[in-house]
Structure formats: C-alpha cells, structure tokens
Amino acid sequence: MKPQAVILLGGQGTRLRALYPDRPKALVLVAGRPFIEWQIAWLRRGGIGAIHCAAGHLAAQIEAWAQEQADVTVSREPEPLGTGGALKFVGPYIQSDPFYVVNGDTLLPGLDFQRLEKQHQTCSKAWKISIAVSRVAAAGRYGTVEFDAAGRITAFLEKAERAAGWINGGIYLLDGLALSALPAARCCSLETECFPSLVADGRLVACPADPPPLDMGTPEGLAEMEHHLQRYLPDLTQPDK
C-alpha cells in the first residue's frame, strides 16, 4: 500500500490575505494552477497514494475543489486547532502506517521520498517522526534544526541572527502511534510545541533534502515558488513514478 499524505490546510493565510482575501492559500494560483495541485503532483511523483486535506479556513472551497479529484478526501476542523490539533482531529481518516504530513504552503522539490522512508524504517524507536530538513544560506529568519551524526534531532532553535543552517522543510513521516503523543481536543502547534517536547525522547529524526525549500505563505515566497515552478514545469507534469 502506498503511504497516504495529510495536507494541513487550516491556516488563515494572514500574510497573503491582502492579496487573496477570497480564497484559502491552497487555491491561490501559482504559475496558472492552484497551488494544491502542484503540491499533489509533487507528492504523487514521490510515490504517495491517497491524499487527505485537513481543511479549516474557507474549507467549503477546498471541499468543492476536491469533488473533482481522485483519491482526495477532505475534513473540516470545527474550530482553529493549529497544526498539532488538526492532525489529531483527522486521525480517523488516516489509512496508512506510516503516513506523511505536509504543511499546506510547502514544496521541497529536492526531497528523496524513498530515502526518507528507508531512514525512517531503520530508526530503532517503537515509534518515531522523521522530519525533512533543508540547508539554507541565511537560516536566522526561519529558526533552525540541529541533529547528530545518526540523524537524531537534538534541538529546535528559535529565530536568531545566524548564517547557514538546517531548517524544517514542512514535510514529516509519522508512525501511527505518534498520534498518541499529540494533545487531544485543543489547539496546538507541531512545530513550536509538540516536536520540541519530543526531542529528549530521541523520537525525532532529520532527513536532509537538497534545497531549495519553498514556502508560498508570503508574497516573497509565492514569487520564488512561481519562478521555480515555471523553471521546472516539465518535471511536475510528467506521469507519476
């Protein structure tokens, strides 16, 4: 069975709202196509099977779009739950173990999905979470991830003045039991609350991916992503592997 991916789409897109007040980020056109379609094409190329969209803000538009898609399901969170709360909420929709989780404004074209999966399998923990990371020249505005020679993540550092470093690429591979570590029935963030609390247990594994990490959540990031997709357009329009 191919692994499933959950795309987290609950955010309100506040940094893009002035440009696109009438639609969720996932449906903003990038190089002439809704961003989520680029994202799904990338996931399919990586060997992903079914897609589940964890929608929130303007969820009705995501639901209408998904009616025309194959192997795409949608759930609507009852209130803003953050990335951690949203993932906990969609637990009943998850069909594979392990499964992927992807932030709804992210592309990491240099990620080798099969390498990530192989590295994930070799970790000896009863359950674990693998995080794709990518190196950038100016890491300070992102916050950085530190890990040891075995790939075990040892720290998440807050944004600070620093040069090159590894940053969270916004795509994760989780064992099903990892859901038990998420708090139930409340809003929480995977990145700032859940992941840092798991560092001491050695359950977080970093998988390096080639740059660039792309994030269309800001006007500047959107322009960079559009440039990249126009340059590599043929790559994502070829049949899935």
Confidence label for 240 from pLDDT (cuts 50, 70 and 90):
very low
Task: State the total domains in the chain.
Answer: 1
Kindly tell me the sign of the dihedral angle through the C-alpha atoms of 175, 177, 178, 183: positive
| 25-69 pLDDT per residue, tens | 999 999 889 999 999 999 999 999 999 999 999 999 999 999 999
User: What percent of the chain is modeled with pLDDT above 70?
Assistant: 93
Strand ranges inside the chain, DSSP E: 5-9, 29-30, 33-34, 51-55, 72-76, 99-103, 106-107, 129-136, 144-147, 153-157, 165-174, 204-209, 214-215
3-class secondary structure, 127:
coil
Q: What is the pTM of this model?
A: 0.93
pLDDT given for residue 239 in this prediction: 43
- Mean pLDDT rounded to a whole number for the chain: 90
4: region left, alpha or beta (phi > 0 left; psi from -120 to 50 alpha): beta
| 126-160 pLDDT per residue, tens | 899 999 999 998 776 777 899 999 999 999 887 66
Domain that holds residue 129: 5-237
Tokens of 211: 């740059």
pLDDT given for residue 237 in this prediction: 54
Q: Which CATH number goes with the domain that contains 192?
A: 3.90.550.10
Tokens of 224: 């960079």
Confidence label for 20 from pLDDT (cuts 50, 70 and 90):
confident
pLDDT given for residue 217 in this prediction: 86
Taking residues 167-182, report their average pLDDT: 95
DSSP letter assigned to residue 4: P
3-class secondary structure, 164:
coil
pLDDT given for residue 124 in this prediction: 79
Taking residues 91-108, report their average pLDDT: 96
Taking residues 117-126, report their average pLDDT: 90
Rounded to whole angstroms, the Cα distance separating 144 from 160 reads 9
Confidence label for 236 from pLDDT (cuts 50, 70 and 90):
low
pLDDT given for residue 137 in this prediction: 87
Rounded to whole angstroms, the Cα distance separating 238 from 47 reads 13
Is pLDDT of 24 > 50?
A: yes
Confidence label for 73 from pLDDT (cuts 50, 70 and 90):
very high
Confidence label for 212 from pLDDT (cuts 50, 70 and 90):
very high
Confidence label for 189 from pLDDT (cuts 50, 70 and 90):
very high
Is the bond preceding 219 in cis, omega lying within 30 degrees of 0? no
Rounded to whole angstroms, the Cα distance separating 33 from 201 reads 41
Confidence label for 118 from pLDDT (cuts 50, 70 and 90):
very high
Counting beta carbons within 10 angstroms of the beta carbon of residue 24, is it exposed (0 to 12), middle (13 to 18) or buried (19 or more)? buried
